[in-house]
Structure 1
Amino acid sequence: MDFTISPELEDLRQRIAAFVESEIIPREADPASWDAHENIALPALAELRAKARAAGLWCLQLKPETGGLGVGRVGMAVCYEEMNRSIFGPVVFNSAAPDDGNMMVLEAVATPDQKRRWLAPIVAGEVRSAFAMTEPHPGGGSDPTMIRTRAEKQADGSWKLYGRKWFITGAEEAVHLIVIARTSDDPRRGLTAFLFHRDQPGWEIVRRIPIMGPEEHGGHCEIAFDGLRVAAEDVLMGEGDGFKVTQIRLGPARLTHCMRWLGLAKRSVEIARAYAATREGFGIRLADRESIQLKLGRTAMAIEIGRLLVMKAAWELDRGGQARKEVSMAKVQAANTLHEAADMAIQINGARGYSKDTVLEWIYRYARQARLVDGADEVHQMVLNRFLDKEGDAFWRWPVAGA
């Protein structure tokens, strides 16, 4: 593949970088910009979102006809990494999870009427959204075949939902939600995706689950369904297509996580290098110590490996492939690299890194979830082993032009 990018994409990257530097990063140092859950406060977010839209930096992941910039997956890899130089970055550009993945799946599979009613308000920044799949034991987690939340078809063609979900990101702020429920025992076509509005009766947020790290807007919630009625026209794709919906959504969404994590990993290195360049101990700068140089060099290499894996997966998606193998590799590499980069940066900064004088401790706590969300490391490694068993030496094949 060709790793050069177009002048237009480079211009967009530079504009995003300048916006992050001048408009977003200064907000990290302002206590008034933070909410109670250690994310950007909604008034500050609204102000920055208006500026991002005015600057033409809005929803770049979507097609122009949907309201985006149509940069493709490779373009997203370039730009998302730049956005997440700031811990507040992606949500400002309407490119943060879970809205990001929800918009992309709705753009891909929703009917024109569903796009008008359910997608357009998210694109416009009028509402937030959530994707409800994960369940408490013995329900489905990484294995969607274990999903127990059920939908019962009514005589008029509508559905009633019963069951429980948890760790549903953004649920407390979400207005538009997608839920995956069981509609039959068919092993391949037993799940269906449904769209519903926050104000519909028959469901509730049981609790906002306290977590180790900072939270996305709307937290990570446990929710219960007790007869939520969903109209037939609010089934996404079709009855029995729920597993397809999850695959269409989760592959690209996992990759966008990786893009953003690499941006935070680079920010960690940036903070570490700046401190090492000025801090002296025992008559020598930290940056001149071989042990520090080894840490920084190793982390820089790990980030570049992650970038290459992300780019290969993005390229495969852009050319129409599913990139399951490539996304799994990128997911494991980027998640672990983020955690290692934050840990390394804290070590170099010493007590300063452990304090709240920098964003490193925020990134460190946030980073630990990366190895769990959208499939734990071990799940993706099992996926890769299945490909290895199936493909043998062809696991490492190069695509052949015209084949």
Structure 2
Amino acid sequence: MDFTISPRVEDFRARIARFVEDEILPVEADRANYDAHDNIAAGPLERLRQKARSEGLWCLQLKKETGGQELGRVGMAVCYEEMQRSIFGPVVFNSAAPDDGNMMVLEAAGTPEQKERWLAPIVAGQVRSSFAMTEPHPGGGSDPSMIGTTARRDGGGYVIDGQKWFITGAGDAQHFILVAKTSDDARKGLTAFLFDADQPGWSIRRRIPIMGPEEHGGHCELDFDGLEVGAENVLLNEGDGLKVTQMRLGVARLTHCMRWLGLSKKCVEIATEYAQRREGFGQKLIERESIRMMFGDLAMQIEMGRLLVMKAAWALDQGSFARKEVSMAKIHVANLLHRAADTAIQINGARGYSADTPLEWIYRYARQARLVDGADEVHKMVLERTLTAEGRDFWSWDVAQG
């Protein structure tokens, strides 16, 4: 792959960098702008979103016809990393989970009518959305085949019963994508449905308290008791739920990594600034060999993550599913984020453990990275299966057609 980026992508990156520096970081620095769940409050967020829209920095991931900027996965990798210099960055540009992944899958899989009804309001920033798949034991988690929520045919539609949990953003979502079981077929037994928060037949049992700061709408436990969904609100076709899940999660896992790289770089930035001015025992922290080795190692680990993400993004742009590339990036970058936050806190000492910097926020947030969209162990199993199937070809190079 060619590691140069286009002038257009660089223009977006530079404008995003300026916007984050001038507009978002001052808001992040004032705790009065935070909500009760350690995210940006609704008022400051909407003001920033309006500015981002007016400057054309909105929905970079979508096609122009959908209301986006059509940057491709490589362009997204560059820009998402830049956005996440602020803990509030992605949501300002409408590039935060779960809306990010939901918009991309609706754009790819929705009918024109579904895009108008379900996608356009998310693109416009009028509503938020959620993806309801994960269930408590014995239901489906990393293994979608275990999903126990059922959807049975009833006249011209379906009736859905079951339970979901740890559903990100559900508390504030208006539009939902729900995966339910429609048959016992191992490959074609799941179906994806679209429903609105105002429909009867479902409820939020609780907003689950978690260790870290939360996305808007939290992580919720949902009950379904006779939710009726019309056949026109099936995404793709009955039995294509696994396909929808794979379409959504593959790219969504990688966009997480893009954003986490930005947070990792933010940790280095905060730690470097402190180490360059903090003195003790006759010298600045940055002059100590042990500290310099910490920074050198983080620099290398971040660059390794960027290369893994870029290769996966490039492969997706070439039309590949990039399963092994995405899994490798997900494992490495999730662990890197935790390591970067931990190292930066260690260098900052008590200051890093306090709320005077975003480091403690990032540290609490980072622990979930090794769990969301597939735990480390699941992705390592995927890699082992691929290695077993491909053998030495696992490491083969793509050859240009000439």
1:402 CA displacement: 2.5
Q: What is the alpha-carbon distance in structure 2 between the residues aligned to residue 21 and residue 304 of structure 1?
A: 22
- Please state whether the residue corresponding to 1:91 is helix, strand or coil: helix
Amino acid at match of 2:49: R
User: Which residue of the partner structure matches residue 215 of structure 1?
Assistant: 214
How do residues 2-401 of structure 1 correspond to structure 2 at under 5 angstroms?
2-154=2-154, 156-401=155-400
Q: What is the alpha-carbon distance in structure 1 between the residues aligned to residue 292 and residue 395 of structure 2?
A: 33
- Structure 1 gap segments, 5+ residues each: none
Amino acid at match of 2:118: W
Q: What is the alpha-carbon distance in structure 1 between the residues aligned to residue 315 and residue 31 of structure 2?
A: 42
1:401 CA displacement: 1.3
- After superposition, what is the alpha-carbon deviation per residue over 1:151-190, rounded to whole angstroms, capped at 9, x for unaligned? 0100x22000000000000000000000000000000000
Q: What is the alpha-carbon distance in structure 1 between the residues aligned to residue 274 and residue 286 of structure 2?
A: 8
1:345 CA displacement: 0.1
1:11 CA displacement: 1.0
- After superposition, what is the alpha-carbon deviation per residue over 1:300-337, rounded to whole angstroms, capped at 9, x for unaligned? 10000000000000000001000000000000011000
1:30 CA displacement: 1.1
- After superposition, what is the alpha-carbon deviation per residue over 1:234-288, rounded to whole angstroms, capped at 9, x for unaligned? 0000000000000000000000000000000000000000000000110011000
Aligned pair count reads 402
Q: Which stretches of structure 1, 4 residues or more, deviate above 2 A after TM superposition?
A: none
- After superposition, what is the alpha-carbon deviation per residue over 1:199-244, rounded to whole angstroms, capped at 9, x for unaligned? 0000000000000000000000000000000001000000000000
Q: What is the alpha-carbon distance in structure 1 between the residues aligned to residue 243 and residue 10 of structure 2?
A: 34
Q: What is the alpha-carbon distance in structure 1 between the residues aligned to residue 399 and residue 342 of structure 2?
A: 40
Q: What is the alpha-carbon distance in structure 2 between the residues aligned to residue 254 and residue 213 of structure 1?
A: 19
Q: Percent identity?
A: 73
1:130 CA displacement: 0.1
Amino acid at match of 1:108: A
1:100 CA displacement: 0.1
TM-score of the superposed pair, with normalisation by structure 1: 0.99
Amino acid at match of 2:238: E
Q: What is the alpha-carbon distance in structure 2 between the residues aligned to residue 142 and residue 296 of structure 1?
A: 35
Q: What is the alpha-carbon distance in structure 2 between the residues aligned to residue 31 and residue 357 of structure 1?
A: 10
Q: What is the alpha-carbon distance in structure 2 between the residues aligned to residue 248 and residue 29 of structure 1?
A: 37
1:29 CA displacement: 1.6
Q: What is the alpha-carbon distance in structure 2 between the residues aligned to residue 202 and residue 164 of structure 1?
A: 12
- Please state whether the residue corresponding to 2:163 is helix, strand or coil: strand
- Please state whether the residue corresponding to 2:36 is helix, strand or coil: coil
TM-score of the superposed pair, with normalisation by structure 2: 0.99
Q: What is the alpha-carbon distance in structure 1 between the residues aligned to residue 401 and residue 324 of structure 2?
A: 21
